[in-house]
Structure 1
Amino acid sequence: MSSLLYIFLLFAAFISHSGAAVEPVKDIYGKPLLAGISYFVLPVVRGGGGLTVIETVNTTCPRTVVQDQSEASQGIPVEFSPSVKSRTIPVSTDLNFQFSAFTIWKLDNFDTDQYFVSTCGVGGNPGRQTVSNWFKIDKFEGNYKIRFCPTVCNFCKVMCRDIGVFVKDGKRRLALSDVPLKVKFKKA
């Protein structure tokens, strides 16, 4: 009889855990981020502005995602699309990031030592072919950070790292980093 009680309690715990509400990412006004709505991705710490793109030469992708050098710039608005159907954007879920005027963000290897974020990704279709197109928004020190750690492919080996700023030749490129860029979101 005790094993039957144990199984019942285990089942009840599983059901209550699986029904737990997923915490949404919130904008600077405390409202949940919504899929398909444009937001500015802004730095929490001074030293640069919002996110934008620059033209890149001698690469397969013509545009790289950067942090604007001007603190006054809000950058280009970004839309988020979750890998699973959801109106709100949950914390720590796979997302496509898309500038309103460009294609989907993608992790690209432009340099032998560094991976940068470009705009040559493909939206949707979670799986092996699109694994480099999925990012997450995670809570970080009371704010948020962007992380590359896709879970859209069960058998793919991926490196999980934060997205930070890599400064070279005066450009503040978004790249894999040990120091994450702390961000907040403002509806465009």
Structure 2
Amino acid sequence: MKTISLFLWLLKLLLTLLDTEGKKLQSEVDYYILSVIRRRGGGGLTLASTGNKTCPLDVVQEQNEVSNGLTLMFSPVNPKKGVIRVSTDHNIEFSAATICVQSTVWKLEYDESSGQWFFTTGWVEGNLGRGTLSNQFKIEKYEDDNNLDGYRHLALSDVPFKVMFKKA
């Protein structure tokens, strides 16, 4: 029995995401998402108008490498004790007011001209069910860092965007 308990404890530890202070990532707590490569990789994530549109605002990386960007929160689709875990579905929402009369919850949007999926905002948090996969995101481990599939406009890509989470 002790072996099984130890195994389950180690598995739980491996699936837990940690912030820059080594503490468990919590739901409904403000964090910054920062590039692991700070000097050459730019700053934190923020919102910006891209292309010819004003709204919704898109998820982009700050050009200024010392900027933490905007704070955001994770909301698990199926919350478990408020802890954010690897490979589980989450809504991600910036904790900021904007000029757009829309939410700052992330979603994916397909751009026909580039043939690429980009991260943008405007989803309704908690809107689950059929056809809502474009607003549910997973954080995965990549090498020894975290990966969000990914001024740089966040987009789905084969090249991982290695990130860390700093509590605000």
Q: What TM-score do you get using the length of structure 1 for normalisation?
A: 0.73
Q: Deviations over 1:81-120 (max 9, x none)?
A: 0010221001110000000015210000134311100011
Deviation at 1:61, TM superposition (A): 4.4
**Residues 60 and 132 of structure 1, relative CA distance in 2, 3 Å threshold:** farther
RCO comparison, higher one (Cα < 8 Å, 6+): 2
The whole-number CA distance in structure 2 between the counterparts of 1:26 and 1:41 is: 12
The whole-number CA distance in structure 2 between the counterparts of 1:117 and 1:43 is: 16
Q: Which has the higher strand share?
A: 1
The whole-number CA distance in structure 2 between the counterparts of 1:131 and 1:76 is: 24
Deviation at 1:60, TM superposition (A): 8.8
**Within 5 A, what are the aligned runs for 1:108-119?**
108-112=109-113, 113-119=115-121
1:99 matched to 2:101: no
| Aligned-pair Cα RMSD in Å | 2.1
Runs of 5+ unmatched residues, structure 1:
1-12, 147-162, 165-170
Q: Which residue of 2 aligns with 1:136?
A: 138
Instruction: Look at both structures and tell me which one has the larger radius of gyration over its CA atoms.
Output: 1
Q: Which residue of 2 aligns with 1:158?
A: none
**Residues 57 and 47 of structure 1, relative CA distance in 2, 3 Å threshold:** closer
Q: Is the 8 A contact 1:56 1:62 kept in 2?
A: no
Q: Is the 8 A contact 1:106 1:121 kept in 2?
A: yes
- Where 1:120 maps in the other structure, the secondary structure is strand
Q: Which residue of 2 aligns with 1:56?
A: 50
Q: Which residue of 2 aligns with 1:72?
A: 66
Q: Which residue of 2 aligns with 1:184?
A: 164
Deviation at 1:57, TM superposition (A): 5.1
The whole-number CA distance in structure 1 between the counterparts of 2:132 and 2:124 is: 7
Q: What TM-score do you get using the length of structure 2 for normalisation?
A: 0.81
- Where 1:128 maps in the other structure, the secondary structure is coil
Q: Which residue of 1 aligns with 2:34?
A: 42
Give the AA of the match of 1:138: E
- Where 1:25 maps in the other structure, the secondary structure is coil
